[in-house]
Structure 1
C-alpha cells in the first residue's frame, strides 16, 4: 500500500486506477462507481456544500440510507476539510433519538438526508415537544440528491493530524460518545490491517455491514479504497431480508474477503435451515472477519461446517478484536490460522482473578483474538492501573498511533477513558494467555445485540414509559446463557402483586421497547426490588447473574404459560383471506411465536430482522404496496390485512 498523508490522498491515487465499487441493492439491482467517478461526484457534492456556506472544520451529519449517496457525501466532506459524522438512518424512535442527541451534542450542525427521512425527523421533534428545534434542523439541512451548482469546489489543504471524521458509538442515545479520528489515526490502522490481513495484490471484498459502523466504513470501504481494490457494498436491510443473497453474491463476485458479527451467521444459518444450502462456490473466500460483538465459537464452527460443501475453507474464520476508539482494529490473530479457543472455569473471571482452565461441560469457551496490530500496544491492568501478568483478568488498555485522542466535547468520557501514560481504557475485561488476548466481558453493563452495543439506561428510559412501570423501577440486562451465541435481553420491573396481574405490564414493556428500538425482548420479570450500590447505582450485573443461574426460572415459566393463553381468536376484518396469507408469511418467518391475527407484532417480541423478513414476504406477494414502516401503524395481522385490502382495492 502506498503511504498516504491524508484520506484525500488515497482517493486521489485510487482515481488513477481502474478500481471500482459495486452497490448491491437487490438480486438484479446493482450500481457501479469507479474511483475516478467517485472523486468527480465527491467534488460536485462539495461544491453544493460550499455553495450553502459549509467551511473547513465544520461537522456535517450524514443521515443517509443509500450507500452510494453516503460515500459521495462522505468523500465530499473529506475533500473540503469538513468533518463527516455518520449516523445510521432509520425510521424507529431509537434511530431518530440518536440523531437528535448527536445533533444537539454537536451544537446543531448541518444534516444531509433524504425527503422521507426528513419528514420522519420533523415528526419526531414535533412528537417530543421540540418542533422549533426540528425547524432549525430543517433550515440548514441538505437533500442527498441536491441540484448541481455552477461554482467549482475548492479542495481544502489537509494535514495528517486534522480530524477525518467522528464515529459515534452504536446504540448510544443517552450519552453520545463521538470518537474523534484523525487522518493519521485511520491511515495507521489501515496499514496495520493490511499487514495483519496479509493482503494479496488483488483482493475482492463484499460487505453488508452499514457504513455508519466502523467495520463497514473503515474495514470494508476505506481500507479497500486505499489499495484501490474492487469491493461491493450490499444494503444492510437487503441482507436482513435475504441473507442467502450475501452468499450468492460472494460466490458471484469471487470475493476473497467477507465480514460478519455473530448475529449475521445465526441469521444466515436460519435461512439455510428454511430454504436449503445454495449450490455455490465459496472456495475463493480467504478471510471472514468476525467481530463487533462477543464471538460465539460454537456458532462460528456451525457456520463453517454447514457451508463446507460450498468449498469454504475451515480456516477462513478470522476472529478479531477492535473498537471505534482504535480506528477499528486492536488485535489480530495470524491470518488464515482459523478459529482457536480455550475453555475456562466460570465464576473466576473478575479483575485480578487468575484464570483456571477447565475442559468440563460447564466451562466457558473463549476465542483467541491474537496480538496487538502493528504499531499498537496492549496492557491488562488491575483496578489501580498496574499491569497484570499472563492468565490474570484485568481491564483491557490499548495505545498506539491508531488510537483516538478522545471523544468530541465529552469531558466525563475522556476522563474515564484516558488512563495512565497515554493509554485508553476500552471498558472490556480480558487476559493474555501465551501472548494472545482473550476477552471475558465488559467492565460495565453494555448489552450486545445484532452487532450493536446498547446502553441499558437508554433501553430503561424507553421501558419506563410503559403502563404499570414506576419511575426508576426498571433495569435492563444482557445475559449470555451457557452455550448460547447471543445475549438475551431481559428487563426486571419492580412489582409486588400476583404474577397474573403482571402480564399486561410485561406485554407493555416488550411492546414499548420493540416499537422504539426494533429489539426483541426475551423476558420481562417482576422483582420485589432492584439491588443498588450505596451510591444508588443499579446493580444490573447482580440481577443478570441471578437470572443466568436459574434464580428466576419458576417465574419465567409461569409468565410464559400465562402469556401463551392470550386470545388468538380475534375476528378477522374485511379481507380475511388476506389475513390468512399474512399469517402464513409470519409463521414462516417466526414459527415459534404462534402469532395470532389479533397479536401486536411488537408486543410479542419480533426482532427487526424478523420484521424485515415479514416485509420481504409481503413485498414478494404484493409488490410496492406496503412499506416496512406501515407495520408500525398496522401492527396486527388483522390491521395489516384491512390496510392491505384498502390499498389493493385502490
Structure 2
C-alpha cells in the first residue's frame, strides 16, 4: 500500500524525523506500556516523547557527554524509550544493556561488568528505582562505581528548552548493540545514525507499514529486534504500539496474544520459540476468548524458523481467526543493524523440501515432500534491492551459484561500522573481500545458507554460536559454568553444542571427569564412559541446575567421559563439531 505522510521532510537521521513528528503531531499516541499484572497502560504521545528526549539530551550535553558512550540500565518501559531518544538527541552513544534483576545478580552482573569494561562508558543513565540500589550494585560491579549516574525519570521536562540542537553526521555513532555473546569478550556493534535510518526504511518497505499500523511488542528493548524492529519502527512510521515486559510474556505467554486481540493490533512478532510456546501453553478457554483476525503480519526471526512450529501455531489459533498468510519469516543480525531479507506481506511463507544428504554436501536439491531424506526449510524472504546478499565459500571467498550452500555475506548502507574498540576483528568481519571483486565492503555474517529462486534459506551456523529461544549463547561461557559446577569435572575439557534430536535443536553437554575420580572397572569395553565410583546422577543434576540458573537454558543430554576423550586440535582447542558428530554417531 502507498503511504502518504503530511509533507514529511527528507531527513538524514531519525532525530530529524522524530523532531518533526513531535512538532507535527504532538498529541498523537506513540507508545503505551502494559504494567505487569494488570491491563493498566501508561502512554506517551509523540510530543511527550520529544519533550522528554530533549530534556534528557540537555542534561547529557550539560555533562559533556556528546560523542561519548553512556550505559543504559533500564527496566522494561517507556523510560527506556525516552532515555534512548535522549542519547540520540544529545549526541551521546547509547549502550542499551540488560537491566540487573535483584533475584539474578549472579547471572546479570558479570554481563554488565563485561560490557562496562569493553565500552568504557562515561556515565550510567537509569531510573530512580535502580539508582536507589546504586551502592549495592557498585559493590558487586566496581566498574560502575566511578561513573556518574543519572535518573532519566527524575529529569524535569522544563529542561527541554536548554537542549542545543546540532547537526548530526549520518556516519556518527548512534548506539552500541552488544550481541548476546561471550562475557569474556563482548562485542559492541557500532550502529551509526545512517545505519538506523536506512534499516528503518528497509523494514518499512518490507512490512508495507501504513499509518493504520498498530503493534504489540514484548521483545527486549536492549536487543536489535525489539529496539529497531519494534520501538524505532513504530516511531519511524508515525504509528502506535503497545509494549509489554519480556518477563510478563515469559511468565504467561498468552498475555501476548491477549494484548493483540484486545487492541486489534495488526503487526507483531518474535523468535520462533515464542510461537511454539503459545501453541503449547494455550488452553481451550483462552483460545475461545481470542480474536486474532486483526493480525496481518506475524514476523518470525532471530533464530531458525521451523515449519512445524508455523503449522502447529496456525492449527491451534485458526479458530481465533489467525491466517496462515500472516506469517512473515525474515532474517537479520545486529551487524546489519537488523533486517537483511524478508518476504512479501500477505503472502504465505515459502516452505520447501530439500535432500538432507545433499545439504550435508553443501548442495540444495529440491525433492518431493514424501522423499525419504526430505528436510523442510522455511525461506527468509528476498534481499532488498538496496542491499546485496551473496553466498560465499568461506574458505576461498569465492561467490557461489544459486543452490550452493555457503556463508551469507551482506553489503549495503545498513551494515554497521564495526565492533567497538576491536579494529582487527572489525576488519575481518566487516571488510571482507570477494575473491573476484576485492572491494573489502562485505559483512561476513557467520551464518550458512543458500539462494533459491531469489529466496534466502538459512541452513545453520558457521560459527559455534548457540541460538535458543531468541538468544545467542557462546559455548565457552556455558562450558565454563559446567566445569565449575562440581569438583569431579576437568577444566577446559568440556564441549557444549546443539544437536537435532527428535526434530528439535537440543543442548548437549559433554564433559571429562578428573582422573582421580575414574578407575578401571571389570569388563570396561573402552568406550570412554566413566566408572560409577561416585554419584554420576548427582553430578548430572547439578550440571542441569547450574546451566539453567546461569544461562536460562535447559540441557537435554549430559555425557560424562574419561579424561582425554574430548576431541581437540593440536593447539588444544575444543573441536565442538567433531564432538557433536561423535555424539550423534554414538561414539562418545
Class of the TM-score when normalised by the shorter of the 2 chains: 0.7 to 0.9
How many Å separate the matches in 1 of 2:389 and 2:336? 11
Q: Which moved more, 1:68-77 or 1:99-108?
A: 99-108
Residue 384 of structure 1 aligns to a residue in which SS? coil
Specify every segment of 5 or more residues in structure 1 that has no aligned partner in the other structure, as ranges: 553-650
Match in the other structure for 2:362? 353
Determine whether 1:113 maps to 2:126.
yes
How many Å separate the matches in 2 of 1:356 and 1:482? 23
How many Å separate the matches in 1 of 2:403 and 2:48? 52
Match in the other structure for 1:516? 550
Residue number among 482, 486, 490 corresponding to 1:470 in the alignment: 490
Residue number among 85, 109, 119 corresponding to 1:75 in the alignment: 85
Residue 479 of structure 1 aligns to a residue in which SS? strand
How many Å separate the matches in 2 of 1:181 and 1:116? 29
Residue number among 164, 167, 175 corresponding to 1:165 in the alignment: 175
Aligned residues, how many?
A: 543
Aligned residues of 1:94 and 1:173 also touching (Cα < 8 A): no
- Which structure has more strand as a fraction of its residues? 2
Residue number among 412, 417, 439 corresponding to 2:458 in the alignment: 439
Q: Which moved more, 1:317-326 or 1:12-21?
A: 12-21
Aligned residues of 1:48 and 1:149 also touching (Cα < 8 A): no
Distance of aligned partners of 1:219 and 1:391 in 2 relative to their CA distance in 1, 3 Å threshold? same
Aligned residues of 1:171 and 1:452 also touching (Cα < 8 A): no
Aligned residues of 2:71 and 2:121 also touching (Cα < 8 A): no
Residue number among 92, 97, 114 corresponding to 1:101 in the alignment: 114
Aligned residues of 2:211 and 2:238 also touching (Cα < 8 A): no
How many Å separate the matches in 2 of 1:278 and 1:536? 57
Residue 472 of structure 1 aligns to a residue in which SS? strand
Determine whether 1:140 maps to 2:148.
yes
Match in the other structure for 1:258? 268
Please state how far the C-alpha of 1:492 moved relative to its aligned partner: 0.8
Aligned residues of 1:430 and 1:439 also touching (Cα < 8 A): yes
Please state how far the C-alpha of 1:549 moved relative to its aligned partner: 4.5
Determine whether 1:413 maps to 2:425.
yes
Match in the other structure for 1:491? 509
Residue 285 of structure 1 aligns to a residue in which SS? coil
Distance of aligned partners of 1:90 and 1:364 in 2 relative to their CA distance in 1, 3 Å threshold? farther
Query: Deviations along 1:566-594, whole A, 9 cap, x unmatched?
Result: xxxxxxxxxxxxxxxxxxxxxxxxxxxxx
Query: Deviations along 1:343-380, whole A, 9 cap, x unmatched?
Result: 22334435x72223344354321111121123000111
Please state how far the C-alpha of 1:190 moved relative to its aligned partner: 1.5
Please state how far the C-alpha of 1:121 moved relative to its aligned partner: 7.4
Within a 5 Å distance, the mapping from 1:570-585 to structure 2 comes to none
Match in the other structure for 1:34? 45
Residue 402 of structure 1 aligns to a residue in which SS? coil
Please state how far the C-alpha of 1:453 moved relative to its aligned partner: 0.9
How many Å separate the matches in 2 of 1:184 and 1:346? 41
Query: Deviations along 1:516-540, whole A, 9 cap, x unmatched?
Result: 2222222221123210123322111
Please state how far the C-alpha of 1:473 moved relative to its aligned partner: 1.4
Determine whether 1:304 maps to 2:314.
yes
Aligned-pair RMSD on alpha carbons? Answer: 2.2
Determine whether 1:450 maps to 2:469.
yes
Query: Deviations along 1:522-565, whole A, 9 cap, x unmatched?
Result: 2221123210123322111222233344556xxxxxxxxxxxxx
Match in the other structure for 2:580? 544
Distance of aligned partners of 1:89 and 1:310 in 2 relative to their CA distance in 1, 3 Å threshold? same
Aligned residues of 2:209 and 2:237 also touching (Cα < 8 A): no
Normalising by structure 2, report the TM-score.
0.87
Residue 298 of structure 2 aligns to a residue in which SS? strand
Residue 501 of structure 2 aligns to a residue in which SS? coil
Q: Which moved more, 1:199-208 or 1:504-513?
A: 504-513
Aligned residues of 2:139 and 2:145 also touching (Cα < 8 A): no
How many Å separate the matches in 1 of 2:544 and 2:152? 35
Residue 473 of structure 1 aligns to a residue in which SS? strand
Within a 5 Å distance, the mapping from 1:218-617 to structure 2 comes to 218-273=228-283, 276-349=286-359, 353-358=362-367, 359=369, 360-382=371-393, 383-417=395-429, 418-420=431-433, 421=439, 422-467=441-486, 468-484=488-504, 487-495=505-513, 496=518, 497-499=530-532, 501-528=535-562, 529-550=565-586
Residue 180 of structure 2 aligns to a residue in which SS? coil
Residue 498 of structure 1 aligns to a residue in which SS? coil
Distance of aligned partners of 1:409 and 1:100 in 2 relative to their CA distance in 1, 3 Å threshold? same
Distance of aligned partners of 1:434 and 1:150 in 2 relative to their CA distance in 1, 3 Å threshold? closer
Distance of aligned partners of 1:537 and 1:435 in 2 relative to their CA distance in 1, 3 Å threshold? same
Query: Deviations along 1:215-264, whole A, 9 cap, x unmatched?
Result: 11111111111111011111111111121121111112111101111111
Aligned residues of 2:332 and 2:341 also touching (Cα < 8 A): yes
Q: Which moved more, 1:380-389 or 1:407-416?
A: 407-416
Query: Deviations along 1:412-469, whole A, 9 cap, x unmatched?
Result: 4213313102101000011111121111100011111110111111111222211122
Please state how far the C-alpha of 1:339 moved relative to its aligned partner: 1.9
How many Å separate the matches in 1 of 2:346 and 2:227? 23
Aligned residues of 2:451 and 2:457 also touching (Cα < 8 A): yes
Aligned residues of 1:447 and 1:453 also touching (Cα < 8 A): yes
How many Å separate the matches in 1 of 2:64 and 2:299? 37
Residue 145 of structure 1 aligns to a residue in which SS? helix
Match in the other structure for 1:556? none
Please state how far the C-alpha of 1:172 moved relative to its aligned partner: 3.4
How many Å separate the matches in 1 of 2:335 and 2:99? 22
Match in the other structure for 2:13? 6
Distance of aligned partners of 1:408 and 1:300 in 2 relative to their CA distance in 1, 3 Å threshold? same
How many Å separate the matches in 2 of 1:506 and 1:347? 34
Q: Which moved more, 1:391-400 or 1:475-484?
A: 475-484
Q: Which moved more, 1:408-417 or 1:383-392?
A: 408-417
Match in the other structure for 1:614? none
Match in the other structure for 2:526? none
Query: Deviations along 1:18-48, whole A, 9 cap, x unmatched?
Result: 2421111233221111010011111222233
How many Å separate the matches in 2 of 1:280 and 1:473? 50
Residue 386 of structure 1 aligns to a residue in which SS? coil
How many Å separate the matches in 2 of 1:278 and 1:37? 38
Residue 190 of structure 2 aligns to a residue in which SS? strand
Specify every segment of 5 or more residues in structure 2 that has no aligned partner in the other structure, as ranges: 434-438, 519-529
Aligned residues of 1:248 and 1:278 also touching (Cα < 8 A): no
How many Å separate the matches in 2 of 1:473 and 1:275? 49
Please state how far the C-alpha of 1:86 moved relative to its aligned partner: 0.7
Aligned residues of 2:465 and 2:474 also touching (Cα < 8 A): yes
